[in-house]
Structure 1
Amino acid sequence: MSSNGDLRAGAGHALRRFGHALIGHDASPELLCELTNQLERLTWELEEGVDRTRDPSSFGDTWVAPIADGEPLKSYDDRPVSGRSSPWGLDLDVHRRGNEVHASVTLREAHEGAPGRSHGGIVAALFDDVFGFVLGVEHQPAFTGELSLRYQAATPLHRPLSCWARTYRREGRKLFMTGELIDVTVEGQPVLVRATATMIAIDADKLFVSTAELPAPPDEDVALDV
């Protein structure tokens, strides 16, 4: 029998497929009414269940486990962008390549912004997530301090894309990262988006403290100067 984690992952995958189908296909009023009624009923059933809290250890293992070159990178199942149970996930295939992280992705109907193109916020979320995988390679817990993107060309739907990222410098608690999103199906493999990020290192034990117990954040840009 499948584990509860595998069953949740199957539900997450089905929800992602459903989202693309809903956005990408016409449906009769009757079918839409039926879908709404069934989804409302199932949602009510889920909401009657016991509230879930994620096991903190599912996050902490990322910083200590060795990651061999070429090895696929995994994270916790509910991770919004890349978790296998996430209804919003992008179905990334992520691997370590030397000191870089490479993610393969094909964006689809539910990711559309301008016609035939990905929404820019989806691309930003993609980079933020891939930069997070670099932290696993670095064995360094950190949070995003700054994220900057330069959109050089439209990001197409339904075409295989490659997103890579790496750390290029470290100063104290700050890790400076860079990355690119590339269209691998076009001759010359043009760069669609370039991104940079500043990640702020944090002690691993602080990841397991409730945000309500943490001190208030410093004003404005002070966090980036530590």
Structure 2
Amino acid sequence: MDAEAAVVGPLAEDLRVLNELSVVSEVDADAVGRAREHLEAARAILAEKTLDGPYGVRFTADGRQRSWGNAAVGLRNPIAPPLEFVKDDDGTVRADYFLRRGYEGPPGLTHGGISALILDQVLGYTATVNGCPGMTGTLTLRYRNPTPLGALHAEARVDRIEGIKAFVVGHISDGETVCVEAEGVFILPRWARERMAAEASAVTEAPAQD
């Protein structure tokens, strides 16, 4: 897993830089044409072998998880900033991240949909690592102040748990000012509950080992 990350991680980072350059570059038409020739060659190489479907979630033999196609945290996904989380002892989850100019919405500011993407991921992850995983049921945002591009901070905490629902609150700030507040409700779906119940039953019914 580490060896693969060392190969595909830099590729995604190169593509993030190219994405920003495609927005802000002011080179002439000839230079754009030459750049596209290089990109066509790269595209042909990468297309030699591809998955038939999405990347999904994968696990290593030691249980480590890879969500590398995820649009918010995916190591292989150039759309992702990507986010890297830190969990405090009290269950609070934090992420410091950087948004390049390709994430612009209002002039010079972060697109509101990007903030929603990030908060959905941060709040959902917070629910999961605090023992109450679920799918997003609702996500309510309050845009308090303009969100700049560049270095930003997100954090979240579980507010309460009601049965299969986890209520999580969080925000994005520029380090000093809260820009966006969010509350999300994450619900453990029926298929997940049924699978967990079946797995628990199998463990209970398994014969004792000598």
State the TM-score, normalizing by the size of structure 1. Answer: 0.74
1:81 is aligned, of 69, 72, 77, to: 72
Range moving further from structure 2, 139-148 or 39-48: 39-48
Aligned to 1:196: 183
Aligned pair 1:161/2:162, yes or no? no
- The Cα shift of 1:180 comes to 1.0
Sequence identity, in percent?
Answer: 27
Query: Which structure's CA Rg is the greater one?
Result: 2
In the alignment, is the contact (CA less than 8 A) between 2:138 and 2:185 conserved in 1? Answer: yes
For the residues of structure 2 that align with 1:37 and 1:195, how far apart are their CA atoms? 44
In the alignment, is the contact (CA less than 8 A) between 1:9 and 1:77 conserved in 2? Answer: no
For the residues of structure 1 that align with 2:67 and 2:138, how far apart are their CA atoms? 23
Number of residue pairs the alignment of both structures matches = 190
Task: Specify the SS of the correspondent of 1:106.
Answer: strand
The aligned runs of 1:84-163 (5 Å cut-off) are 84-97=75-88, 98-158=90-150, 160-163=151-154
Aligned amino acid, residue 17 of structure 1: V
The aligned runs of 1:168-183 (5 Å cut-off) are 168-183=159-174
Aligned amino acid, residue 178 of structure 1: V
Task: Specify the SS of the correspondent of 1:93.
Answer: coil
Deviation track 1:75-98 (CA, whole Å, cap 9, x = no partner) reads 522221112221101133321122
- The Cα shift of 1:34 comes to 1.7
In the alignment, is the contact (CA less than 8 A) between 2:126 and 2:157 conserved in 1? Answer: yes
Q: For structure 2, which runs of at least 5 residues remain unmatched after alignment?
A: 197-210
User: Does the C-alpha gap of structure 1 residues 148 and 42 become closer, same or farther in structure 2, counting only changes over 3 Å?
Assistant: same
User: Does the C-alpha gap of structure 1 residues 149 and 86 become closer, same or farther in structure 2, counting only changes over 3 Å?
Assistant: same
Range moving further from structure 2, 193-202 or 34-43: 34-43
Aligned amino acid, residue 119 of structure 1: H
The CA RMSD measured in Å over matched residues stands at 2.7
Task: Specify the SS of the correspondent of 2:59.
Answer: helix
User: Does the C-alpha gap of structure 1 residues 37 and 205 become closer, same or farther in structure 2, counting only changes over 3 Å?
Assistant: farther
In the alignment, is the contact (CA less than 8 A) between 1:141 and 1:204 conserved in 2? Answer: no
In the alignment, is the contact (CA less than 8 A) between 2:57 and 2:66 conserved in 1? Answer: no
- The Cα shift of 1:204 comes to 7.3
Aligned amino acid, residue 147 of structure 1: L
Deviation track 1:176-209 (CA, whole Å, cap 9, x = no partner) reads 111111121xxxx2211111111111427869xx
Aligned to 2:207: none
User: Does the C-alpha gap of structure 1 residues 5 and 171 become closer, same or farther in structure 2, counting only changes over 3 Å?
Assistant: same
- The Cα shift of 1:110 comes to 0.5
For the residues of structure 2 that align with 1:55 and 1:113, how far apart are their CA atoms? 29
Aligned to 1:18: 18
For the residues of structure 1 that align with 2:148 and 2:95, how far apart are their CA atoms? 16
For the residues of structure 2 that align with 1:18 and 1:206, how far apart are their CA atoms? 42
